[in-house]
Structure 1
Amino acid sequence: MNPSATASWNEVRAAFQKIWGYEDFRPPQGEIIQSLLAKKDALIIMPTGGGKSICFQLPALLQQGLTLVVSPLVALMENQVQELRERRIPAALLHSELPSDKRRITLQALERQQLRLLYLSPETLLSKPVWERLCQPELVINGLILDEAHCLTQWGDTFRPAYRRLGAVRPALLKSKPLGTNIALAAFTATADPLAQTQIREILQLQEPAVFRINPYRSNINPSIRIVWTPRGRKQQFLKFLSDKAQQTGLVYVRTRRDSEELAKWLLELGYVTAAYHAGLGAEERRDIEAQWLSGKMPFVICTCAFGMGINKSDVRWVVHFHPPLLISEYVQEIGRAGRDRKPAQALMLISEPTGWLDPQDKQRQKFFEENLQQQQLDAQQVLKKLPRTGEVNAVAREFRDGAIALSLLHSTGQLKWLDPFHYSIVPGAKTKSVTQLHATKQMNQYLTTRDCRWRFLLSAFGFEEEIKNWRCGHCDNCCRK
């Protein structure tokens, strides 16, 4: 490899060995690091546990200035920053739950240019106190990283509308910096199908990005689906699954906070050591549950999608989806938390019987999601009729209920563009695009009912058609049945 402008490749490897203790990079870590050191944009799709974080953390340390890491969850930020600080790397985080004294210390360190990595959510990045400091001309910013970039397509339209404005961040920052400043932009994720990849590139305005794609197949993870006929039957199937796993580490995924609390309460009454984990818990409580699970004191956790991103435990032997997730990308992310030690691991999903007559829960959850999405689209079109041609995001959010979500949906349908992260312009006469999440839920339904190899279906869904011609995994439930 050619030396970068910042450091020779020998220096890059020496820093990697000294800080992380590994002998050499796994493919394609070295190529990704070289690309970021050369200040090129990149889109990186690597399986969960593939060492994505090192790919942007190491370039941040080898360059002068600050790298911003936009991350979706507080727990994920806390875990990564704690690991970096243990390695004596100048890193910090900012989020809404941070006590005011810690927030003040971090903002001071930012102003004094004492940080190499700053983790923050999209909402915190675009908050006034943070944005004003980032726009100071003397503050050197060398990179903008979007971690867990699938969240942009999963949540950006209707749940976390600030994600939709991230493409306007780099141009706005560059206007405040000296002429000739270059800020590299890279998006990292474990799961993005071809449509999601296109969306990420377009929304972030990536410029001729280097693209690194590794398929998510894991030969040691054995996916299976079981039909349950009643709510009681779902619980019984789960208990049957648990019966021979007393000493094994696992994760149980449910759809909502309420589901996690109710299931955890029931299992605790039966004598199991577990806990409910969701985004509504305080930071200290989340940390305590994570610590108990990581240490083995708590064999499994009942969790929503808030658990797992950035939490690395190698010996997870099983993952159960007590309810099916809405999106395949979520599913692959979550089963990918099992078997990182490359030993066999089970991935079981429990689903309601197809008619929904005896157990309508799964159908009701999906119907609620789809109806809610359609209603939000209708609401956005009503808001559009009342909007001035150009305007300010916060003003719309104050005037209209779910105004920020309406703007996000209008951006996703091509009816609106961002002038900067805080101001929009209506696109007159734009042909509306369809919102892609409805397509994604149909894809999940197809996965639940397919008789084809499960892994073959997943690889095809993520665009790895060439790699799976005349191929089957041989270890999913469908392959084993055949």
Structure 2
Amino acid sequence: MTLKPHQSYLTTLKKYFGYDSFRGDQQDIVEAVVNKNDCLVVMPTGGGKSICYQLPSLLLEGVTLVVSPLIALMKDQVDGLKANGIAAAFFNSSQSSGTQQDIIEQVATGKLKLLYVAPESLQGVHYVLNEKNISCIAIDEAHCISSWGHDFRPSYQQLGFLKASLPNTPVIALTATADKATREDILQQLKIPRAKQFIASFDRKNIELEVRPANNRLTQIIRFINKRPNESGIIYCLSRKATEQVAKKLKTNGVNAASYHAGLNYEERSKVQEDFIFDKTQIVCATVAFGMGIDKSNVRWVIHYNLPKNIEGYYQEIGRSGRDGLKANALLFHSYADVIQLRNFARGASNEAVQIAKLERMQQFTEATTCRRKILLGYFGELLEANCGNCDVCKNPPQFFDGTIIAQKILSAIYRLKGSEASGMVIDVLRGAHNAAVMEKGYTDLKTFGIGSDIAWKDWQQYIIQLINQGYCEIAFHKHNALQLTEFSKKVLFEGAKVALTKPVDYNEIKKIAEKEKQPKRTKVNTLFERLRQLRYNIALEEGIPAYLVFSDATLKEIERERPMSEADFLNINGVGQRKLEVYGDVFIAEILDFIGAKVKKPKKTDTHLVTYELYKQGLSIDEISSQRKLKSQTIYSHISKLYSDGKAINIFDFISKSEVEAVRKAKIALGSPNALRPYFEYFNESVDYFKIRLALGVIDKEQ
């Protein structure tokens, strides 16, 4: 298998994905995969996991097989790859046998670079699962393989056969959320024990974290949304009924919202998801069934109407906001009623004890009096020394006292117990309890036995939670919830580090703190960003793809800031690759120039298509008009189509044949008259250009 030179990594990254540099460990991961090393990649949502296997697929000969759990996720990824000019397809049970056979042939003949398959559909592609065809295997959402994970799926447990069948093919397992136990399980079950591990920072600094008591949630949510007009968001609810009630309440208050849950049929769920992706619906109120297949980069906030069942799920769900790196918000409402309901859900499960322990950790997160980001990162084994400054606790800090001696007593007890006991036993030892468990294990002989008898049991419990939240100790869920020391522990025990604690709180007596009223900010409707956003929306409608696949919000913000006025400058924008420059560059540059002209109050320009018309009447060809106006020929063709539709004297059959019009007419009938051009483009297997389709539709519409 021949490889392209190492220096081509950045060239390929810019050409197909529009980025000038790699983020974090991306380049090291790409290099490891290209060199046929197995890898485990744990990287937060929005951190750029897909680049880690999509880029190697372009550098290796053959097809990269991507195992993915949801059809929606596959379709979204494939659409994004095609938008970047990369040959990709998905294979699943929703396709006809003819389509499936065509995809198999494309794999066998090397016409594809990536093929997405659900684990249940792997049997359908077994004919091409060999090392001649397959260059790399990517297991997306790899935490689904582990019963320790938060989203266990039995169908994933068969995937170990892939490495056994293709021992020389690199396997890359990717997930956004996996604690230590889950990571070990992934490596074991995929049969890649010596895989290189890349654990990226879990810190999504752009997401502001906030927790509130569940009092008057709907009132608070409506106020929250009104401060953020036109922003996309997701509201996660525990039940189907709640999703419908919240959506109904929002709609009665003039908010464009829809509900999504497993009780809807496939068509209904698909419509809600598609409308959200295409920015036709602003807000989706959903159960946790919604979101894994959503690669929408411009979700600006996530609200948890109910308490999530564990920190992994919470972290993954809030990670669906701010994927473009811009500011985002995560608001969580909590109540004891949610805790009771989630406990009932866990009852009888095969891993009931693990589920309950993780739920309790989630509850402790909501009741924390220390930096919430520290708690999140510490849960995944990443210790943060300084407070984040971007959570509600940091912005409204509680009163602290010097709790160093209390912390030393707790950590000493954990050390004497050799990290083998859960918090209940640690507290019993500290308080000098003489119960049967303590006596049988001989813990009365420990030096720490009884050194904390002056502090109440429930107070010790809260102090331990605070130490866990600050990263001074951790819960080993896979070892019966035993408390264990961390690398921060020795700083307190041996290096004189001070520990700040807050006095224990009776949560039953906490009173609601009224939220300060703020007037919603008025949005500027004629900013360049808004005009670029509207242009992007119109292009997306015409091509039948989600708006963020044209350009992300982050790319639009950079275009707004840099205001590129030439193709070279436009190509320097992050997120603009060669294909997107060719397809969209001229119309975005024209929009920038028009905006600047409006801002300096220059005389209003003649409509651009009328300028094209004057040159057409002079007998200039499309290429000559394109050259004189410094616009791409596709743009000139779109002018011709509009001029013809407007009744101008255009001989349309100079540009398109009658047989081509008839072919598009048949396609229109077969497809059910779609408004977008992309379905036609795909109908003709991408052999008919967009401008031809547009011209033909103009002829057909005028006839009708």
Q: Is the 8 A contact 2:343 2:356 kept in 1?
A: no
User: Which residue of the partner structure matches residue 421 of structure 1?
Assistant: none
Where structure 1 has 5 or more consecutive residues not aligned to the other structure, the ranges are: 175-180, 355-359, 378-433
- Does 1:12 pair with 2:3? no
Task: Map Cα deviations across residues 421-476 of structure 1 (whole Å, 9 max, x no partner).
Answer: xxxxxxxxxxxxx97444433322221222221100011100012xx23x211221
Q: Is the Cα–Cα contact under 8 Å of residues 156 and 162 in structure 1 kept in the other structure? A: no
Which of 211, 233, 239 is the aligned partner of 2:197? Answer: 211
Q: State the shift of 1:205 in Å.
A: 1.8
Shift of 1:76: 0.8
For residue 317 of structure 1, give the secondary structure of its aligned residue in structure 2: strand
Once the two structures are TM-superposed, the CA of residue 79 in structure 1 deviates from its matched residue by 0.3
> Highest CA radius of gyration, 1 or 2?
2
Which structure shows the bigger proportion of residues in strand conformation? 1
Indicate whether 1:24 and 2:21 are aligned.
Answer: yes
Could you say which residue in structure 2 is the equivalent of 1:117? Answer: 114
In 2, the alpha carbon distance for the partners of 1:251 and 1:121 equals: 25
**Following TM superposition, by how much is the alpha carbon of 1:235 offset from its aligned partner in structure 2, in angstroms?**
2.7
**C-alpha deviation, 1:43, in angstroms:** 0.9
Please, which of 380, 383, 387 is the counterpart of residue 472 of structure 1?
Answer: 387
Among 208, 211, 221, the alignment partner of 1:225 is 211
1:49-448 equivalences under 5 Å are: 49-125=46-122, 127=123, 129-131=124-126, 133-135=127-129, 139-153=132-146, 160-171=153-164, 173-174=165-166, 182-229=168-215, 233-278=216-261, 288-309=271-292, 311-352=294-335, 354=336, 360=337, 362-374=338-350, 436-448=354-366
Once the 2 structures are TM-superposed, how far is the Cα of residue 71 of structure 1 from its aligned partner?
0.9
Q: Secondary structure at the match of 1:15?
A: helix
Helix, strand or coil: the match of 2:347?
helix
Query: Aligned pair in 2 of structure 1 residues 105, 277: CA closer, same or farther (>3 Å)?
Result: farther
CA contact (8 A) 2:150 2:310 kept: no
**What is the DSSP-based 3-state SS (H/G/I as helix, E as strand, rest coil) of the residue aligned with 2:90?**
strand
Query: Residues 326-347 of structure 1, C-alpha deviation per residue, up to 9 Å, x if partnerless?
Result: 1211211221222344443221
CA–CA separation in structure 2 for the residues paired with 1:138 and 1:206? 17
Aligned partners of 1:80 and 1:310 also within 8 Å? no
Q: Which secondary structure state, in structure 1, belongs to the residue aligned with residue 211 of structure 2?
A: strand
Aligned equivalent of 1:399: none
Q: 1:313 to 1:138 in 2, by over 3 A?
A: closer
Q: Percent identity?
A: 38
Taking structure 1 as reference, are residues 253 and 100 closer, same or farther at Cα in structure 2, changes over 3 Å only?
A: farther
Task: Give the Cα–Cα distance (whole angstroms) in 2 for the partners of residues 6 and 209 of structure 1.
Answer: 21
Partner SS state of residue 77, structure 1 = helix
CA–CA separation in structure 2 for the residues paired with 1:157 and 1:329: 6
Are the aligned partners of 1:277 and 1:304 in contact in 2 as well (CA < 8 Å)?
A: yes
Match of 1:384 in 2: none
CA shift, 1:65, in A, is: 1.9
SS in 2 for 1:182: coil
Q: Note closer, same or farther for the CA distance 1:47–1:437 as it changes in structure 2 (3 Å cut).
A: same
The answer on whether the counterparts of 1:318 and 1:347 sit within 8 Å (CA) in structure 2 is yes
- Unaligned runs of at least 5 residues, structure 2: 398-704
CA shift in 2, pair 1:53/1:341, >3 Å: closer
Q: Is the 8 A contact 2:259 2:285 kept in 1?
A: yes
CA distance in 2, matches of 1:284, 1:479: 44
Instruction: Tell me, yes or no, if the aligned pair for 1:142 and 1:182 is still in contact at 8 Å.
Output: no
Which amino acid letter does the alignment assign opposite residue 63 of structure 1? Answer: L
Q: Is the 8 A contact 1:94 1:106 kept in 2?
A: yes
Structure 1 300/16 Cα, relative in aligned 2: closer, same or farther at 3 Å? same
Maintained 8 Å contact 2:44/2:176: yes
Q: What CA distance in whole angstroms lies between the structure 2 residues aligned with 1:268 and 1:113?
A: 50
* C-alpha spacing 1:159/1:310, structure 2 compared with 1 (3 Å): closer
Cα distance in structure 2, aligned partners of 1:158 and 1:213? 19
The one of 378, 381, 402 aligned to 1:460: 378
SS in 2 for 1:363: helix
Are the aligned partners of 2:87 and 2:113 in contact in 1 as well (CA < 8 Å)?
Answer: yes
State the distance in 1 between where 2:344 and 2:121 align. 30
Q: 1:455 to 1:158 in 2, by over 3 A?
A: closer
Partner Cα distance (2:241, 2:152) in 1: 18
Q: Distance in 2 between matches of 1:157 and 1:217?
A: 19
8 Å CA contact 1:158–1:373 kept in 2: the answer is: no
Residues 176-206 of structure 1, C-alpha deviations (whole Å, 9 max, x = no match): xxxxx61111111122122221121122121
Higher mean C-alpha deviation, range 151-160 or range 340-349: 151-160
Q: How many residues align?
A: 397
1:476 maps to amino acid: C
In 2, distance between residues paired with 1:280 and 1:306? 10
Deviation at 1:40, TM superposition (A): 0.3
- SS of alignment partner, residue 58 of structure 1: helix
- Report the alpha carbon displacement of residue 44 of structure 1 after superposing the two structures with TM: 0.9
More deviation, 82-91/278-287: 278-287
**TM-aligned CA distance change 1:306 to 1:6, over 3 Å:** farther
SS at match of 2:394: helix
1:450 aligns with 2:447: no
The answer as to whether partners of 1:223 and 1:454 remain within 8 angstroms in 2 is: yes
SS of equivalent to 2:50: helix
1:154 CA drift (Å): 6.2
Letter in 2 for 1:317: R
CA displacement 1:229-271 (0-9 Å, x = unmatched): 5xxx333332333332233222112234454344323433443
Deviation of 1:349 after TM superposition, in Å, equals 0.7
Residue equivalent to 2:476: none
Q: How many Å apart are 1:142 and its aligned residue?
A: 2.2
